Each structure stands twice: as structure tokens, then as C-alpha cells.
């Protein structure tokens, strides 16, 4: 984020990052929140990909010790990231095909020394990264993410590896994120409820996405063609497309100076949980799924920045 954008943000109200905590009957029960969670996204230049931590306190603990105290972990596993995303190198030249994995997401989980590994019996990449006499921290493959481009849309499929959360993951154990090729908004759906990652156009650099609950009358890219046509026909007058704001992704508070560990962005999400859970233990599965999508957005935004810099440098060289 540029200095002009940061100056403009500093003069804005913090209320813009609020999360709606709704109790109305029309709001799905699983989206009724009692708290907010801030999950920092960080970059470690010596490591591939990006990490997201379960809380600011956990990120600060890791940053303070650079992970050196991970062997002193307890049941809450403070200072351990929640997820890590890695971009995969293309194996078919410069063309992405629908069967090729674009990203891999790894999850970290703490268990007692006597507990079985996560999803025991599932053939997956699962390793112990830290342990003491009482606890182990596992890192395992959580999801493969595929990209498919059509004439007017791009689709990302988050395919979960193993697990038993089909009510959140969908019938095919996957979540989808779709956007029109010329736009940055991403449509998604969980448990049949349509959501949208919406970013407002701004002449300044802007990567503030709001995760919003869609008005049932608002067409979604995940609707069938018939449903979309029916919604457009019914919306003779303009409607408010969003019912509630569930979360935010933004890099407005990123670290400006380089370092061994750099905060790149924040993901703020509503949650039905306990403020005491600031480590990776007892994080609601819905929060983990939204954090996975936030990491995907972060990769897309960083790739967009890289392409912009590359194009600017090419323009300068051509002069």
C-alpha cells in the first residue's frame, strides 16, 4: 500500500472494519456471531508462501521469538500459524489447465502426545513439526486449489483433503470462488448461502475486500443461469445487494520495512466462539474456511501487484 493510500486510511473511521453481529431470524444460524477475530497474514522472505495466524497475540509471540519457543507449546499452541498457502509452479508452460493445482494450503494442528494424527488413516502429507512431552504440532495438507478460466469467468476450486465437514465443504468436499474476468469481486457459497468478497473501486490503490452476505434477490455467479435470469427479472427496482458484512481483508496496516517476518495484511472475521482462544486450538471450522479464502485473495492481490510492477518496469525500459 502506498503512502498516500495509508495517509487517507489513517483519516478514516475504524468503524469501516466492523463486522455485523446479527440476530434476525432471516440470518442463517451459522452466521450469527458474538465476537470478531483478527488473523494477521505474514510473509517470511526465506520461506515459500504466506502464513495466517489465529490472532494478533499469536503472531506477535511468533515474531518475538522467530518460532524458537515452539518446543514449549501448550494446549493452545501460541505462536503457531493456523494455515500456510504455497503457490505451485506450472508444469504445462505458461498455460493453466483446469486439472492443475495452483495453490496448496497446509494446516497446523495441536494434539496431545497420545492423540492420533489429524484425520487418521487418510493418505495425506502430514508431518510433526514440534513436540514436547505433552503435545505435538502437526502440519498437513488441508486443500488443493485449482483454477479454471472460461471466456467470461474465472473459477477457483478449493478441494479439501479428507475431513468430515461436508456440511460446510459442500457435497463434493469443495468450496468455489468465482469472478467475472474484468472484475475483482469474488462470489462464493457456504451451506447454500451466497456470499461475496467485494472490493470497492478507488482511484487510489485499494485492496480492502468486504466479505458480505448477499441479499437473496441479488444474482450470484454460483446461481444457475435460470436462477440468475429469474432474479434479474424480479429486480425491477434497485435493491441493496448486501445484507450484512461478515469480515474484511485489507493490507492497510502492513509492515512497511523489510524484515525476517513481515505482516502483509489482516483478515478480520466474525465468529461464534471464545475470545480466550487465541492459539490454533478450538478455532471454529467456519473461521478456518474463511481464512483459507482470505489467503487465496492475498495471493491473487500480491500476484496482481507483481504484474503491475513488471508492466511498469517494462514501460520504463521501453522509453
Largest CA distance in the chain: 65
pLDDT tens per residue, the chain (319 residues)? 555 455 444 445 556 778 988 777 778 999 999 999 999 999 987 788 999 999 999 999 998 877 666 656 788 889 999 999 999 876 555 455 555 789 999 999 999 999 988 865 555 678 888 888 889 999 999 999 998 877 678 899 999 987 666 678 877 889 999 998 778 899 999 999 999 999 987 656 678 999 999 999 999 999 998 998 999 888 877 889 999 999 999 988 776 666 788 899 999 999 998 888 999 999 999 999 999 999 999 999 988 877 666 655 555 555 5
Query: First-to-last CA distance in the chain?
Result: 26
d(CA 83, CA 115): 21
pTM exceeds 0.75 for this model: yes
What is residue 35's DSSP assignment? E
Residues 299, 75 contacting (CB under 8 angstroms):
no
CA distance 100 to 21: 38
Locate the domains of the chain by residue range.
21-318
Other CB atoms closer than 10 Å to residue 301's CB: what's the count?
18
CA distance 81 to 44: 12
Place of cell 448461502: 193
265: nearest Cα among 57, 67, 59:
59
Amino acid at each position: 500500500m502506498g503512502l498516500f493510500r495509508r495517509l487517507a486510511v489513517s483519516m478514516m473511521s475504524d468503524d469501516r472494519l466492523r463486522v455485523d453481529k446479527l440476530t434476525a431470524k432471516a440470518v442463517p444460524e451459522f452466521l450469527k456471531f458474538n465476537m470478531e477475530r483478527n488473523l494477521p497474514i505474514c510473509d517470511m522472505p526465506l520461506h515459500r508462501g504466506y502464513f495466517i495466524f489465529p490472532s494478533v497475540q499469536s503472531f506477535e509471540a511468533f515474531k518475538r521469538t522467530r518460532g524458537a519457543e515452539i518446543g514449549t507449546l501448550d494446549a493452545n499452541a501460541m505462536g503457531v500459524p493456523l494455515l500456510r498457502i504455497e503457490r505451485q509452479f506450472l508444469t504445462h508452460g505458461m498455460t493453466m489447465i483446469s486439472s492443475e493445482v495452483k495453490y496448496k494450503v497446509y494446516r497446523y494442528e495441536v494434539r496431545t502426545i497420545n492423540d492420533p494424527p489429524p484425520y487418521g488413516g487418510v493418505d495425506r502429507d502430514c508431518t510433526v513439526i514440534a513436540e514436547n512431552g505433552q503435545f505435538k504440532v502437526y502440519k498437513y495438507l488441508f486443500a488443493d486449489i485449482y483454477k479454471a478460466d472460461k471466456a467470461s469467468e474465472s473459477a477457483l476450486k478449493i478441494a479439501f483433503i479428507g475431513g468430515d465437514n461436508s456440511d460446510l465443504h459442500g457435497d463434493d468436499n469443495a468450496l468455489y470462488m468465482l469472478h467475472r474476468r474484468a472484475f475483482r469481486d469474488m462470489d462464493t457459497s457456504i451451506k447454500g448461502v451466497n456470499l461475496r468478497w467485494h472490493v470497492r473501486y478507488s482511484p487510489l490503490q485499494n485492496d480492502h475486500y468486504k466479505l458480505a452476505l448477499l441479499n437473496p434477490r441479488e444474482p450470484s455467479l454460483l446461481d444457475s443461469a435460470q436462477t440468475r435470469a429469474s432474479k434479474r427479472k424480479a429486480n425491477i427496482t434497485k435493491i441493496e445487494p448486501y445484507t450484512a458484512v461478515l469480515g474484511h481483508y485489507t493490507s492497510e496496516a502492513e509492515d512497511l520495512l523489510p524484515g525476517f517476518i513481515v505482516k502483509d495484511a489482516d483478515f478480520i472475521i466474525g465468529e461464534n466462539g471464545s475470545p480466550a482462544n487465541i492459539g490454533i486450538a478450538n478455532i471454529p471450522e467456519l473461521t478456518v474456511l474463511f481464512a483459507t479464502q482470505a489467503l487465496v485473495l492475498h495471493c491473487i492481490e500480491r500476484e496482481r501487484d507483481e504484474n503491475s510492477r513488471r508492466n511498469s518496469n517494462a514501460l520504463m525500459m521501453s522509453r
